[in-house]
Amino acid sequence: MKFKCEKCGRDATVHLTEIINGQKIERHLCQECAAEEGITIKAQIPLSKVIEEFLSQSTQEKELVNLRCDVCGMTFLEFRQRGLLGCPHDYEVFEEVLVDLLERSHEGKSYHVGKVPANAGETQRRQNEILRLRGQLQEAIAREDYEAAAHLRDRIDELSKQLSRYPAQGEEER
């Protein structure tokens, strides 16, 4: 059954049911008249999408609950409660969670964006520059700026070659 807007006669798209003094009152309005009365309708997310997201989150949660470090025995729940890792191996065990956590707390970046200590060495500086340029490369590709992407790719290749010529930090040249 199609309802007409009770104010202007157009097709009603907003249907309200109110209980006033114990009486059920139904109102049928078009979008414009509803807006004039200050009735805002939030865009509804399909129920299937809500259920899908819920199930994927609960599945992920279940998988995380079962995570345990073989070395120190720390579980994901213990990490979540304490906020501290138990041993260096935990970084590998909880890598997915840690990367997500870092990206959320560092505005989408999972690598260091900031000052580097003076004693970090040239190798570390080049590695950080390559990571920064890779991020810019992804952004250039996303906005389909292929010329900029090509320049960034070439700069990354150049830095990678320079990096392979230098020994890793703490190693001696042979």
Token output for 83:
């906020």
Q: Does residue 146 have a pLDDT over 80?
A: yes
Dihedral class, residue 73 (left if φ above 0, else alpha if ψ from -120 to 50, else beta): left
Structure tokens at 135: 């991020």
- Range with the poorest average pLDDT among 18-32, 34-48, 74-88, 126-140: 34-48
Q: What is the pLDDT confidence band of residue 60, given thresholds at 50, 70 and 90?
A: low
Highest mean pLDDT among 59-63, 83-87, 102-106: 83-87
Please report the pLDDT score of residue 57 as a whole number: 57
Mean pLDDT, residues 144-163 taken together: 90
How far is the C-alpha of 24 from the C-alpha of 18, rounded, in Å? 6
Return the pLDDT at 109: 58
Element (H, E) at 127: helix 121-142
Q: Does the structure show a pLDDT above 50 at 96?
A: yes
For the cut 50, the answer to whether the pLDDT of residue 143 exceeds it is yes
| Cα–Cα distance for residue pair 171/174, rounded to 1 Å | 9
Q: Domain ranges in the chain?
A: 1-43, 47-105, 118-165
What's the mean pLDDT when you consider all of the chain?
Answer: 77
Better pLDDT: 48 or 29: 29
Q: How far apart are the first and last CA of the chain?
A: 85
Q: Does 55 score more than 60 pLDDT?
A: no
State how far the Cα of 84 lies from the Cα of 87, in Å rounded to an integer: 9
Statement: residue 61 has pLDDT above 90: no
Rounded Cα distance between 80 and 85, Å, is: 9
**Residue 150: is its pLDDT beyond 90?**
yes
For 16-83, give the DSSP string: EEEEETTEEEEEEE-HHHHHHTT---PPPPPHHHHHHHHHHHHHHHHHHHT-B-TTT--BHHHHHHH-
